[in-house]
Structure 1
Amino acid sequence: MRAYLALLEELERRRRGNSLAVYKPYDRQAEFHAAGATNRERLFMAGNQLGKTRAGGAEWAMHLTGRYPDWWVGKVFDQPVRLWAAGVTGEGTRDNPQRVLVGPPQQQGEWGTGMIPADAIADTVMGRGAPGALDSVVVRWGGGGDVQAGESVLSFKSYEKGREKWQGETLHGVWFDEEPPLDIYSEGLTRTNATDGITIVTFTPLLGMSDVVLRFLSAEAIQGLGSSPPQGGVAA
């Protein structure tokens, strides 16, 4: 009996340490991922608790590790990547994208229970702002079969720091969790130009027809919406 319980505990530990392996997107999440195969910029709008941040975190974990599931038809990077994940404030970035990617911010013993598998986290660098907030994570990439192992780097940012803090670096992708100001979005997109990289935006539409939302809507869609705020969906 004791051996059986120990086996169950070990299986649960492995499951908690590899959330990415059990991620199965529902239809709108799958549509969002698939659009990355042909679009550099993507938007996933939906209400609260409908899987926007989870979808963003799962995709970012795939790119960071190079572990793409058999069902994946979206964007693929064939080398280690440098990615950013950002929210409105340092606390918001910590409590949303960092939590989904790494695990509960205030419980370091639980880091590795987010979308980045525990065995892929090579190192973490603490930030100087909100307690429990990370500055960056070094992630093991590839290493299976004939693929040479490498390291990806994930850094966390916030909009409140201003556009100047977003300048300079060359990136493969930027994830905006919650709607960014247009100047921040434009600067993030610029960071990906040299790599033909991607940007993804995941948020609940609270600001109505903002400049960022308008980038993703066709003229027909804008005319149909009028002045009403968008209710959600996937756009690229």
Structure 2
Amino acid sequence: MVSKSPAAAKREYLSLLKELDRRRRTNQLAAYQPYARQAAFHAAGATNRERLFMAGNQLGKTRAGGAEWAMHLTGRYPAWWQGKVFDKAVRLWAAGVTGEGTRDNPQRVLVGPPQQPAEWGTGMIPADAIAHTIMGRNAPGALDSVVVRHGGGGDVQAGESVLSFKSYEKGREKWQGETLHGVWFDEEPPLDIYSEGLTRTNATGGITIVTFTPLLGMSDVMLLFLSAEEVERMGKG
């Protein structure tokens, strides 16, 4: 048996570290471990079509939304998952206030850095699940949609989910017509946009999730999710 030289062993070790880092970076979903509020938000999807995750900045709202959307798109649900499950490929939307906002938040979390196409596949959707991307026109680096491999393995042919990106600024008319399994509103939408998005999911019994920091006060959309007791308590506060 011929032993490797120290230099060769070092190169092999560094190559192994590089490969491990690549696998970690291109499969963020596998490493997702929700904290208590995120886990409760996900679990509520088993029995609720409409959900709200309202919290301050940098508290994991968009990350939670991105992780859940990646699971539904790919069919890769972890052992700890207790929320909504789709057993076939889905059509989902992810939306923000503007085209730039959608690009910089949901798209970034789901796909990777918008301005670095070589890094697409380092978001919550695993790189090996991204079949192809379609560019949008709303903002530089913005995607219109992503085709995502769902399930598959062994003798089973993978299905294809479709994720499309939307914005509120285009108005309600741009939200009409589609039949969807889910709509993710990242940042608070106007009530008419929310209602139209929810309508898109009626035929499939699909879901809506809303993730935002409350900046608009006691809005119509917020009131949809709060009990009378919560509204009264917030009013007194």
Instruction: Bin the TM-score by the shorter chain.
Output: over 0.9
Spell out, residue by residue over 1:65-87, the C-alpha distance to the aligned partner (whole angstroms, 9 max, x if none). 00000000000001100000000
CA RMSD, 1 decimal: 1.0
Between the two structures, name the one with larger relative contact order (CA 8 Å, sep ≥ 6).
Answer: 1
- Moved beyond 3 Å, runs of 4+: 144-148
Distance 2:75 2:56 in 1: 30
3-state SS of the aligned residue for 2:80? coil
Other-structure match for 1:46: 55
Name stretches of at least 5 consecutive residues in structure 2 with no aligned partner. 1-9
Other-structure match for 1:80: 89
Distance 1:193 1:144 in 2: 31
TM-score (norm 1): 0.95
8 Å contact 1:17–1:114 — kept in the other structure? yes
C-alpha displacement of 1:180: 0.1
Other-structure match for 2:185: 176
C-alpha displacement of 1:148: 4.3
Name stretches of at least 5 consecutive residues in structure 1 with no aligned partner. 229-236
8 Å contact 1:189–1:198 — kept in the other structure? yes
The alignment covers a number of residue pairs equal to 228
Distance 1:80 1:147 in 2: 13
3-state SS of the aligned residue for 1:176? strand
Identity of aligned residues (%): 86
1:30 maps to which of 31, 39, 42: 39
Whether 1:153 aligns to 2:175 is: no
Other-structure match for 1:234: none
Whether 1:61 aligns to 2:44 is: no
Distance 1:40 1:19 in 2: 26
3-state SS of the aligned residue for 1:36? helix
Distance 1:47 1:66 in 2: 30
C-alpha displacement of 1:144: 3.5
Distance 1:225 1:129 in 2: 37
Distance 2:74 2:236 in 1: 42
TM-score (norm 2): 0.94
3-state SS of the aligned residue for 1:189? helix
8 Å contact 1:209–1:227 — kept in the other structure? no
What letter is aligned with 1:94?
R
Other-structure match for 2:120: 111
What letter is aligned with 2:194?
Y
Change (3 A) 1:119 1:208: same
1:190 maps to which of 184, 187, 199: 199
C-alpha displacement of 1:223: 1.4
